[in-house]
Structure 1
Amino acid sequence: MLRSLARERPLRLKSLPRYGQWSSPCIFVLAVIGSAMGLGNIWKFPYLVGQYGGGAFVLAYLACVAAVGLPLMVAELMLGRRARSTPIYGLLRIAREEGLSGGWSVIGWLGSVTGLLVLSAYSIVGGWSMAYVFRSAAGAFHELDAVAAARLFQELTDDPERLLAWHTLFMAMTILVVSRGVRYGLEEAVRWFVPVLLTILGILVFYAHGQPSFDRAVDFLLRPDFARLDASALLAALGHAFFSLSLGLGALVIYGVYAPERVSLLAVAPIVVLTDTLVGLLAGLAIFSVVFQAGLSVAAGPGLIFQTLPLAFGTTPGGHLMATLFFTMLVLAVWTSAISMLEPAVTYVMKRWRVERSLAASLVGVLVWSFGLLSLLSFNLWSHLQPLGSWSRLGRGTFFDVLNFFITGLLLPLTGILTAVFVGWRMSADSSRIELGGGWGYRLWLVLIRFATPVAVVLLFLQAMGLLGWEVL
């Protein structure tokens, strides 16, 4: 595989990144996979498949990934490696090299800030996952009924002190990894976490294969039901293709900064996308097999993971062990994504104020932790507050709901469209060809990033603003 990742092209004289470099192409691939694998494909993907009828949604998602996710992933990795600097300063450097306005550095600002906003909410869900590891290991899911499962989750979210403890622990774990640097922090994390995550997923699928309902889960995931593939389903697939690959968060840009010079980004991106999608499908098989076996609905929305699954695991033999493994896998998935979201802002603080990495990680981490308190309290003490109560689309939305809408509906699409325009139309083709090489793969990528990706992202933005009239869950 490593041979296929390499490419032969003249090297440019370019300084190595100040902050470190991945030790090998394999580690680089694992790091990008770890960034992409998160709540998007283990939590959200299965319940979207459940809502929109199975295999038809999977096909639509794969098409959206090919048209939007893959080109943007290549673009962000390419920008990082070309700049060899933190996203904000890196975009400024590239713009000046291209004779363009320094205002294009706004892409770096948007990505870095969005990553911190996502992490502030991500940490809350990471805390839930950690709490459920201990609950499942202690046998709390044994012979649950639907009311007890809902009450178990409600007791967690209603207790601000308990949520604060888990939120603090998760952010402390993330800060610890990032503070150790690229080689001894980020690299060691992905070197262990990603293989362990995939191993646990394999065990869960093997367990699911032994369930009588496994064939039904396969049929549900892979048999297309095109009658349910309407406009809202297509837009949901498009939005998830954007969200599930850590696009628009600055994470892929900073990981591209650390990329080895002779690694083909056009080869790495498809490997990451296919692995990410495969993980989502396998997670869906594991989840749906258990849920079907328990006679429950797979169209349970976000509650599928924290309410329906505990109920299902509690009624199956060996369920408490499998539940513990599942939530451990979820913690690792959230953790590997979280460190990639924190890294861009940490490197900016290091460069801007010339401070040590450990101090920069602590300062940025405490800032994210503090902002996360707003989301945390929106589940209990501030659940009655509706910041956009006058707007019909979010009339009953808490701060957590508003933040999620603001990120997915505005910041991520805006970062995506600016990246596509900058790379596809403003940056010279010669510059991108230096990083990506020539050939049909590069030409296809250039067509997609110039035409298909911007149109798709604009549609996503218009839908989020309610201008298309299509409702998406």
Structure 2
Amino acid sequence: MASSGQPRIQWLGRWGFMLAATGSAVGLGNIWKFPYITGEYGGGAFVLVYLACILAVGVPVMMTEIAFGRRGRGSPIDAIRRVVNESGRSSMWSLIGWMAMLCGFMVLSFYVVVAGWSFSYLWKMLTGGLAGTSVDEMAAVFGANNANPITLGGWSTLVTLLTMIIVGKGVQEGIEKSVSWMMPGLVLMLVLLIGFGMFSGGFGDAVDFLFSFKAGSLSSEGMLAALGHAFFTLSLASG
């Protein structure tokens, strides 16, 4: 079939793609969610199932998505449609692209809230609003943030606008340039978090909570959570 004539989106280099993929995998979701579900569903036992799900299901799906992206070179909708047209398959297969975009929108709907919490805490920290705050008081701060629709909506709106600006600039000028400084910032934050955890006390208990092998706590629900988090980690089926 003849080409549509539209320019195909490309990364400037592999490094930019690798940074974006790494940021997607080792992002806010894993920092925020992974420790909790790991400790709840069996620690080391959960980690083993999680890694098995990544290798057996996640990696093959990810390689398939990358292959579609390399072949279609466009948004999920355009890439799937282009591959379907070139292969002569039913146009109904193009619905997969729309489903991926819908899934991405649903993920964004809660990500902007969680990222908004992070921005709110960052602002309070920079302005001294969290100085001397105890663990119990932090719970009250969290509750107050969620009870205030202006605060919650304001920070979530800011995250949405920043996301729109970056994505609106395209792959090269938006996503690729932004991850070039966001990823070093994420690495620095992880190093600071690990350092703080090691020297603030209770580091051994935290490691035991996360990685001690508790097979009895690994239920069928935990296995499903491991599979779901494998998809979440690799940002699969979400555009």
Taking structure 2 as the reference length, what is the TM-score of the superposition? 0.90
Matching residue within 218, 224, 229 for 1:235 = 224
Summarize the Cα distance change of 1:16–1:204 in structure 2 as closer, same or farther, 3 Å threshold: farther
Counterpart Cα distance in 2 of 1:121 and 1:52: 23
1:197 equivalent to 2:154? Answer no
- Structure with the bigger RCO (C-alpha within 8 Å, sep 6+) is 2
In structure 2, the partner of 1:210 is 199
Q: By how many angstroms is 1:73 displaced?
A: 0.9
Determine if contact 1:131/1:166 at 8 Å carries over to the other structure: yes
1:39 aligns with 2:64: no
Q: Give 2:74's aligned residue.
A: 85
Residues 1:182 and 2:194 are matched in the alignment: no
Which of residues 32, 42, 63 in structure 2 aligns to 1:53? 42
Deviation at 1:244, TM superposition (A): 2.2
* 1:107 aligned partner: 96
Measured in 2, the distance between the counterparts of 1:73 and 1:64 equals 12
Instruction: Tell me by how many angstroms 1:144 deviates.
Output: 2.1
Q: Distance in 1 between matches of 2:101 and 2:180?
A: 24
Per the alignment, residue 4 of structure 1 pairs with none
The answer (yes or no) to whether the contact 2:9–2:74 under 8 Å persists in 1 is no
| 8 A Cα contact 1:55 1:220, kept in partner | no
The yes-or-no answer on 1:158 pairing with 2:147 is: yes
Cα displacement string for residues 22-80 of structure 1 (whole angstroms, at most 9, x for unaligned residues): 22212111111122333321111111012123211111111111112111111111111
**Alignment partner, residue 112 of structure 2:** 123
| Residues 153, 172 of structure 1: alpha-carbon distance in 2 compared, 3 angstrom cutoff | same
Partner of residue 15, structure 2 = 26
Is the aligned partner of 1:140 residue 2:130? yes
For 2:84, the equivalent position in structure 1 comes to 95
Residue from 64, 73, 80 that aligns with 2:53: 64
CA contact (8 A) 2:46 2:223 kept: yes
Unaligned runs of 5+ in 2: none
1:220 is matched with which residue?
209
Distance 1:212 1:154 in 2: 26
CA distance in 2, matches of 1:17, 1:50: 49
Aligned mates of 1:194, 1:17 — CA distance in 2: 31
Deviation of 1:108 after TM superposition, in Å, equals 0.2
CA drift at 1:141: 5.5
Maintained 8 Å contact 1:114/1:248:
yes
What are structure 1's unaligned runs of at least 5 residues?
1-13, 251-473
- Post-superposition CA distance 1:328-360 (Å, at most 9, x none): xxxxxxxxxxxxxxxxxxxxxxxxxxxxxxxxx
Q: Which has the larger radius of gyration?
A: 1
Q: Separation in 1 of the partners of 2:144 and 2:196?
A: 30
Give the match's secondary structure for 1:21: coil
| Distance of aligned partners of 1:15 and 1:202 in 2 relative to their CA distance in 1, 3 Å threshold | farther
Structure 2 letter corresponding to 1:142: G
Q: Report the Cα distance in structure 1 between the residues aligned to 2:79 and 2:172, rounded to whole angstroms.
A: 21
> 1:217/1:121 Cα in 2 relative to 1: closer, same or farther (>3 Å)?
closer
Query: Paired residue for 1:272?
Result: none
SS at 1:123 equivalent: helix
Distance 2:196 2:4 in 1: 49
Letter of the 1:67 partner, please give it: A
Corresponding residue for 1:406?
none
TM-aligned CA distance change 1:242 to 1:74, over 3 Å: same
| Alpha-carbon distance in 1 for matches of 2:156, 2:224 | 32
Aligned counterparts of 1:16 and 1:28: Cα–Cα separation in 2: 24
- Matches of 1:84 and 1:44, distance apart in 2: 32
Counterparts in 2 of 1:328-343, with a 5 A limit? none
- Per-residue CA deviations over 1:296-332 (Å, capped at 9, x if unaligned) read xxxxxxxxxxxxxxxxxxxxxxxxxxxxxxxxxxxxx
- How many angstroms does 1:139 deviate by? 4.3
Task: Please report how far the alpha carbon of residue 145 of structure 1 lies from its aligned counterpart in structure 2 after TM superposition.
Answer: 5.0
Q: Is the 8 A contact 2:39 2:211 kept in 1?
A: no
Residue by residue over 1:398-451, the C-alpha shift from the partner in whole angstroms, topping out at 9 and shown as x without a partner, is: xxxxxxxxxxxxxxxxxxxxxxxxxxxxxxxxxxxxxxxxxxxxxxxxxxxxxx
Distance 2:6 2:37 in 1: 39
- Once the two structures are superposed, residues 192-229 of structure 1 have per-residue CA deviations (whole angstroms, 9 ceiling, x without a partner) of 10121012211221232224422332333333111212
Q: Which amino acid in the other structure matches residue 54 of structure 1?
A: G
Matched residue type, 1:144: S
The residue matched to 1:249 in structure 2 has which SS?
Answer: coil
Determine the C-alpha separation between the residues in 1 that align with 2:45 and 2:11: 38
- Aligned equivalents of 2:192, 2:138: Cα separation in 1: 24
Q: How does 1:55-454 map to 2 (within 5 A)?
A: 55-137=44-126, 138-140=128-130, 142-146=132-136, 148-250=137-239
Q: Distance in 2 between matches of 1:15 and 1:191?
A: 32
